[in-house]
Amino acid sequence: MEIIPAIDIIDGKCVRLTQGDFARKKVYNEKPLEVAMQFEDAGLKRLHLVDLDGEKAGKVKNCKVLATLARKTNLLIVFGGGIKSLADVQIVFDSGAGMAAVGSVAVKEEEKFLNWISIYGASKFLLGADVKDEKITVSGWQEQTELWVYDFIEDYVNRGITQIFCTDVGKDGLLEGPSVELYRNILSKFQHIHFIASGGVRSMDDIFILEGLGCKGVIIGKAIYEGRIDVQDLRKYGLQ
């Protein structure tokens, strides 16, 4: 299983939100590059970089941060937030991202996303499934849909998507543990996808549980920044 640390960016600074709420923001470091290099020094290979300014604005805003991290580290950067147009996708890849994370567009503008897949290939996209009560949420978790997560995943698996990350929005940022039952249900239905858990991880024990479920990766943010998980304890995952 791969450990994927998260860096969320507002005004060029490394922050974390609680349950996606901009009013519940905490700045952890004003220099994202320092944080990324700490992750790389610990042997980790992939970084989940989220442009929260872009998510709010509806277009990519922090491409300079992305470009700096891509140029000065060897991390595979998965970039998400504010990717709403083909021009945004091109900016993200031109700035050095290895993959683009897409959620809301895949839900609300399916034909647009399928066009991106046809241009760049499905392997360049990490599909985001944000979930509340097993139904997809969009628009920064502000809008609940009636789309079951299982139908959403199946639709895109059938269209060539192989990597998917799922966040239970009720768990994110609370350090109360991941949504184990939800992930177990997803993995029982989709045994061959590259499934990445996200949200709620609070300890190494949670990581061991997710690994036991068969998750191929786990995105971790707040638990690292709050000192619940020591980056050096994650080194063995970077060496796999």
Residue 140, both tokens? 């920064």
> Which member of 8, 51, 88, 172 is catalytic?
8
Residue 107, both tokens? 């839900």
**172 catalytic per annotation:** no
> Which member of 53, 130, 168, 172 is catalytic?
130
The two beta strands, 135-138 and 125-132, are antiparallel
For residues 140 and 82, what is the distance between their CA atoms, to the nearest angstrom?
Answer: 10
Residue 222 in contact with residue 175, Cβ under 8 Å?
A: yes
Per the listing, tokens 């299982």 go with: 150
**205 catalytic per annotation:** no
Looking at the chain, list the stretches that DSSP marks H as alpha helix, in order from N- to C-terminal side: 32-41, 52-57, 63-72, 86-94, 104-108, 110-120, 149-157, 180-189, 204-213, 222-225, 235-238
Helix (H, G, I), strand (E, B) or coil at 147: strand
Active site residues: 8, 130
